[in-house]
Amino acid sequence: MGHWYDETFEDHTRLGLRVSETLFSGQSAYQHVEVIDTVGFGRVLVIDNVFMTSEYDEFLYHEMLVHPALVTAPSVERVLVIGGGDGGTVREVLRHRDVKECVMIEIDELVVDVSKRYLPGIGTSWDDPRLDLRFIDGIDYVKNSDDEKYDVILLDGTDPVGPGAVLFDDSFYRACKRMLAEDGVMALQSESPLLMMDLFLDVQRKLRPLFSEVHPYLGPVPLYGTGTWSWTWCSDTGEPLRPVQERQEAIVEGSKAYNAELHQAMFALPNYVKRALKL
């Protein structure tokens, strides 16, 4: 029944999903966008042959990108999301009642259009009046915008290939910091330390000179090669392990994975990562 769709990692490892139907396949000005229906992971968004998110495990990625930052930042009134075209990240941001405005910058309108149409269960907050969705270049925005600074910035890009590669440049991270409030928190997806240790370390190396607190944390995302994924929490003032309890309790209730114990546990790193981080 159906065929197999494989994501290949540097020509040495493949993750394959059995496809029951290809729902969409098209090319934007930036990248190739597909939505496949799979037997094991439900509908999956694929960009340039890389699995981006699935109905089955998207909550593991989006909850972990968003909530550690949103429960520890001193204020969360203004939140900036760069990337995240499937809508899962802004969905989690907008569950926070204290968020007054969430600006989402996505370069590729096709990703949002296709996600709205084929992945409506992931992006459930497109109509929230607090969301300000702009189809512009994220790099250009953080480098040149005169907008007010943000309390939290979340980077939800692809892997560092194609149009998403620039989202891993140190000049981009520096420009993000320019848009962050002095006591703000930035969090980003930082690849797999198991499958892509070099990339993971590269991100850490670029962030450390910019922020006094740079803390990677780990969690499972089965759709991404090896299943071990990382995000990184950065700030100049705060502490990742000191959540605002009231804000955290309010969000734990409706979360599929995120809770107070997991928050603490995710920042506990295995030895191979701790040793590698002594750069």
- Which residues are the active-site residues? 156
Considering the complex, what minimum distance in angstroms separates the CB of residue 137 from ligand SPD?
18
Q: Measured from the CB atom, is 164 or 238 closer to ligand SPD?
A: 164
Considering the complex, what minimum distance in angstroms separates the CB of residue 77 from ligand SPD?
23
Write the CB contacts of 85 (distance below 8 Å, at least 6 apart in sequence): 106, 108, 111, 112, 115
Strand partners, 65: none
Is 272 buried (19+), middle (13-18) or exposed (0-12) by CB count in 10 A? exposed
Q: Measured from the CB atom, is 48 or 236 closer to ligand SPD?
A: 48
Q: Measured from the CB atom, is 66 or 175 closer to ligand SPD?
A: 66
CA–CA dist 112, 28 (Å, integer):
11
Q: Measured from the CB atom, is 61 or 233 closer to ligand SPD?
A: 61
Q: Measured from the CB atom, is 68 or 238 closer to ligand SPD?
A: 68
Write the CB contacts of 159 (distance below 8 Å, at least 6 apart in sequence): 50, 191, 199
Residue sitting closest to ligand SPD (CB): 53
Considering the complex, what minimum distance in angstroms separates the CB of residue 88 from ligand SPD?
5
Considering the complex, what minimum distance in angstroms separates the CB of residue 7 from ligand SPD?
8
CA–CA dist 26, 166 (Å, integer):
23
Instruction: Answer whether 80's CB lies under 8 Å from 154's CB.
Output: yes
CA–CA dist 81, 84 (Å, integer):
7
Considering the complex, what minimum distance in angstroms separates the CB of residue 110 from ligand SPD?
15
Write the CB contacts of 244 (distance below 8 Å, at least 6 apart in sequence): 71, 72, 74
Instruction: Please report, as ranges, the residues that interact with ligand SPD according to CB under 6 A.
Output: 50, 52-53, 61, 84, 86, 88-89, 156, 158-159, 189, 224
